[in-house]
Amino acid sequence: MLTDTVLPPANVPGLRWLANLHPDPREVLDTWHARKLAPIPLGNFHVVRTTSTLGILALQQLEQEAPTGRPVLWTRPHAVMDFLVAPTPLTWQSDGAGQLLKDGSLECPPPGRASDMRWPSRWAAQPDGSGYLPDMREIVEALLRLYHQEADRPEPESVEVRPPAAGAAAAFFVTARRVAADVH
């Protein structure tokens, strides 16, 4: 634990939670104190990555539906938003809407420093320290709805996110069905 470390006053619970996701929390704090992004390994969480435009709209919609402590990182140089989600054995990728990242690490600024423009990334929604991570399906469904709206595509009648059939590779199959009217 980080009880013997002096932490910045802003968002101490979120900072503590995020640093503890790393095998060496003290290394994360040292990296942040050196004003660098800290690589937090994926594994205790996964990331749904999407474009900044779609991510901002999804975050606004999700917060209106149910305000929670969903951590969301915005990276300016790459114009992407990363929704931290609960680990899942499944995978997901959609042309244009986003993808699920499960390997590697996420370069994170310390929570509580969102207004510091020197960081290339900042928290659009900071981790609150509770450890709450949404289910991937919640984020994926919001992104797909918005993707169809933003691209001026016909919105699907329903969006079905389901695991694969028994024995198939672990993947999410996303199907969008739309009933077309017969025009004569």
* Residue 156: band (very low, low, confident or very high) from pLDDT cuts 50, 70, 90: very low
pLDDT > 90: what percent of the chain? 46
39-58 pLDDT, tens digit per residue, is: 999 999 999 999 999 999 99
Instruction: Say how far apart CA 19 and CA 30 lie, in whole Å.
Output: 10
Q: Rounded to two decimals, what is the model's pTM?
A: 0.77
The whole-number average pLDDT for the span 120-148 is 90
Alpha carbons within 13 A on the beta-carbon side of 38: 23
Map tokens 């079905």 to a residue.
160
Checking if the pLDDT of 183 tops 70, the result is: no
The H-assigned helical ranges of the chain are 12-19, 25-33, 52-65, 136-150
Comparison of pLDDT for 96 and 48, the residue scoring more = 48
* Residue 113: band (very low, low, confident or very high) from pLDDT cuts 50, 70, 90: low
The set of long-range contacts for 65-71, using a CB threshold of 8 Å and a minimum separation of 24, is 68/132, 68/134, 69/125, 69/126, 69/127, 69/128, 69/129, 69/130, 69/132, 70/125, 70/132, 70/133, 70/134, 71/14, 71/18, 71/123, 71/125, 71/126, 71/127, 71/128, 71/133
